[in-house]
Amino acid sequence: MSTHRKRLNDVINTGFGANSSVEGSRLTNKDGSTNLRKTGLPFWERISVYHTLLRMKSTRFLFFILLLYTSVNILFAIVYYFIGVQNLVGMDGIHAPMHEFMEAFFFSSQTLTTVGYGHIAPSGMATNIAASIESLVGILIFALVTGLIYGRFARPRAYIIFSPNILVSPFKDTRALMFRIATYKNNHLTDVEAVVTVALHLKENGKTATRFYPLHLEYAKVNSLALSWTLVHPLDENSPMYNFTPKDFEDSKIELIVAIKAFDDHFSNIVQQRTSYTYNELIYGARFLPMFHRAASGTHTILELDKVNLHEDVVLPEIRTDLAESESFRANA
């Protein structure tokens, strides 16, 4: 493995341990969540229903609402059916059991939503008590669902798209590690800051340990993320990946942990987004191509979001070999 001019200081406040033998695949998922499963307590003590519903995908959230609505109606339809459908005034004659159950189900849905068409009405103490309870349950459920829907819409998000790959590209007279970001909604982010940490899995005393190093960026902050932003980490003598070859990247199983923080002037709030890149998402010897251009009318700029990962192969500068006898911060690698 290549050498390094001086020993770099790693960081220990990342929240991840240094024992590589207990890690499962990547440390951080692409969506920014930690690749972690917690055990030791009952399931309902380990999960926040509120956070789960806020972060749930829209399709799953809508399916959950539909499932909840249907389940509550089925439950109360069963109650009405066993109380006796004859206590539901307005049902026409005697029907098959399934038809009577469906009539009870639709009466339940009208009661739950407080629509009350008036075609069927409860009669008798037990049926009226069940209808009153269902009305209360309906009010509570719709209040909770309304709050969740508002929370999902109002929750500040960065809406940042990341290039699927990181590139090792020519940079000035050396090389650099690069990835690209852009906002994909019609929001505007200002005071955008990036913090990038690399996890290297290194051999130390015959064992594999994870070491974390903060990466210096050419620009760690931009005033506005109106177009795209290519984040550049020069692979110079101040980099923990100085003179890394493709095999070095693979052997150390690098993982870049990226955190972006910005101010959204629509929300008037701080937003953040995280992601990670692993060594198998790295392309050695490539550079990004432009993803925006001037419109034909000349009146505005077009940002092509589908080109966030557009790149071409290039020839990299030769790796320096004059440091073979210098001290390596990976002496035992």
Q: What is the pLDDT of residue 8?
A: 64
Alpha-carbon separation of residue 304 from 72, 185, 222 (angstroms): 46, 12, 20
* Cα–Cα distance, 82 to 119 (Å, whole number): 20
Side-chain half-sphere exposure of 179, counting CA atoms within 13 A:
23
CATH topology for 43-154 is Helix Hairpins (1.10.287)
Pairing type for strands 282-284 and 166-171 reads parallel
Domain residue extents for the chain: 43-154, 157-313
Dihedral sign from CA coordinates of 95, 99, 101, 103 = negative
Class of 157-313 in CATH: mainly beta
Q: What is the pLDDT of residue 23?
A: 59
Judge whether 43-154 and 157-313 match in fold: no
Q: What is the pLDDT of residue 47?
A: 83
Q: Which of 95, 306, 71 is nearest to 180 (CA)?
A: 306
* DSSP letter, residue 5: S
The residues that bridge with 301 in the sheet, in sequence order, are: 294
- The continuous run of DSSP H or E covering 130 comes out as helix 125-154
Structure tokens at 251: 């052997």
Q: What is the pLDDT of residue 20?
A: 54
pLDDT in tens, the chain (333 residues): 444 444 466 766 666 666 555 555 777 888 777 777 777 888 778 888 888 898 888 999 999 999 999 999 999 999 988 888 888 887 766 578 888 888 889 889 988 988 877 778 888 899 899 999 999 999 999 999 999 999 888 888 899 999 999 999 999 889 999 999 999 998 889 999 999 999 998 877 777 788 899 999 999 999 999 999 999 999 999 999 998 999 999 988 999 999 999 999 888 899 999 999 999 999 999 999 999 999 999 899 999 999 999 999 999 988 765 444 334 444 444
The residues that bridge with 196 in the sheet, in sequence order, are: 258
Give CA 117 to chain center in angstroms: 44
SS3 content of the chain, % helix, strand, coil (to 5): 30, 30, 40
**Residue listed under structure tokens 């349950």:** 137
